[in-house]
Amino acid sequence: MTRFSFVSVTFLALAALFFPALATAASASSEKDAIAALIERERKAFEAHDLDGVMSCYAPGDQLFVFDLVPPREYPSWDAYKKDWRELFAQFPGPIHNTISEVSIAVDGSTAYSHYVEDGTMTAKDGTASEIAVRITDVYRKIGGKWLIVLEHVSVPVDLTTGKPDLLSKP
Amino acid sequence: MTRFSFVSVTFLALAALFFPALATAASASSEKDAIAALIERERKAFEAHDLDGVMSCYAPGDQLFVFDLVPPREYPSWDAYKKDWRELFAQFPGPIHNTISEVSIAVDGSTAYSHYVEDGTMTAKDGTASEIAVRITDVYRKIGGKWLIVLEHVSVPVDLTTGKPDLLSKP
């Protein structure tokens, strides 16, 4: 340990002792980073058709509940959602490219939540590529020291006057 | 206070002292009741076309963020969402009847979240009634001692093979 880092550590320890809010803010920031990393890990697993990688982001058993983009109404467990993801990958075996934007993350103790937009281009069996921008909200719980998604909602807005979904919605 | 209730209160106070988990469980249960009451209050305000009543359930300013059923993609503030609700009430000035089902609520400290289904029949200007079952997820924060919605997501699933929204989705 260099003298500089020793002084820094001592200063931070003293600062945390006398200004607990500082320590809390620093900790909340690193928890936000952990959630951001989880979102990015899932995005990459999605692009790689990595079913296990995607599912490692979700809480096990019936600790997970999902309202997904596609019917049926709900996916009330990890197993149900895994089946949904498996079908998506089977439907789009070709290249997938996703970008994530408008990310907002909030952390409160061992619960966190986020909203963001995922704009994806997926390639069907016949080579046809289709683009869709979905809106995602997630709630996370820290379970066994790891952040996992416990509640997910994925959708596109629907224009009720035309009866049509807006697959490429704009802010 | 009767002797029985005095004994009960003393027992509960002692129990809470020696078994803090008991007190936490009781408190979490009453917080869940408060969230359930908020959902019911909003349902009634919705049926009554009571715009202020509905909006009193949401966090002020840009503490609120919503992905709603209808375009555009997002409603990033209380003012934006109020405009959305005003337009809904203008579009459906006749009788509204809503039922809420499949409610699940979780509370962790000063953050809570829920998911439920709202099945509504709304009546347009020309007297036409239309039914729609929407999926709702909410995140709440306790702000100034009151639970308020800070993140809402409302949607119906969309069948991507037919391109049609499922307005009466089933579990």
Give the tens place of pLDDT for each residue, B8-63. 444 444 454 555 555 566 677 899 999 999 999 999 999 999 999 999 999 999 99
Q: What is the pLDDT of residue B27?
A: 79
Cα-based angle A52, A64, A121 (whole degrees, multiple of 5): 50
Asked if the Cβ–Cβ distance from A170 to B68 is below 8 Å, we say: no
CA distance B125 to chain A (A): 14
pLDDT over 50 at A5, yes or no? no
The complex's ipTM works out to 0.87
Contact with chain B for residue A126, Cβ under 8 A: no
Mapping DSSP to helix (H, G, I), strand (E, B) and coil, where does residue A29 land? helix
Give the tens place of pLDDT for each residue, B103-135. 999 999 999 999 999 999 999 999 999 999 999
Q: Give pTM, 2 decimals.
A: 0.87
Asked if the Cβ–Cβ distance from A158 to B72 is below 8 Å, we say: no
Give the tens place of pLDDT for each residue, B55-98. 999 999 999 999 999 999 999 999 999 999 999 999 999 999 99
Asked if the Cβ–Cβ distance from B157 to A108 is below 8 Å, we say: no
Phi, psi of A45 (to 5 degrees): -65, -35
Q: Are strands A65-67 and A146-155 parallel, antiparallel or unpaired?
A: parallel
How many DSSP H helices and E strands does chain A contain? Answer: 4, 7
CA distances from A83 to A86, A90, B156 (A): 5, 11, 20
Burial of A123: CB neighbours in 10 Å, binned 0-12, 13-18, 19+? middle
Mapping DSSP to helix (H, G, I), strand (E, B) and coil, where does residue B1 land? coil
Break chain A into its structural domains and give their ranges.
Answer: 3-165
Q: Spelled out in words, what is the top-level CATH class assigned to the domain A3-165? A: alpha beta
Contact with chain B for residue A163, Cβ under 8 A: yes
A-chain residues near B159 (CB < 8 A): 70-71
Asked if the Cβ–Cβ distance from A73 to B113 is below 8 Å, we say: no
Q: What is the pLDDT of residue A27?
A: 79
Distance, in Å, from the CA atom of A8 to the CA atom of A15, rounded to the nearest integer, reads 10
Q: How confident is the model at residue A4 (pLDDT cuts 50, 70, 90)?
A: very low
Give the tens place of pLDDT for each residue, A101-114. 999 999 999 999 99
Give the tens place of pLDDT for each residue, B43-58. 999 999 999 999 999 9
B-chain residues near A135 (CB < 8 A): 67, 73-74, 153, 155
Q: Which residues contact B121 (CB under 8 A, 6 or more apart)?
A: B95, B96, B97, B98, B129, B130, B131
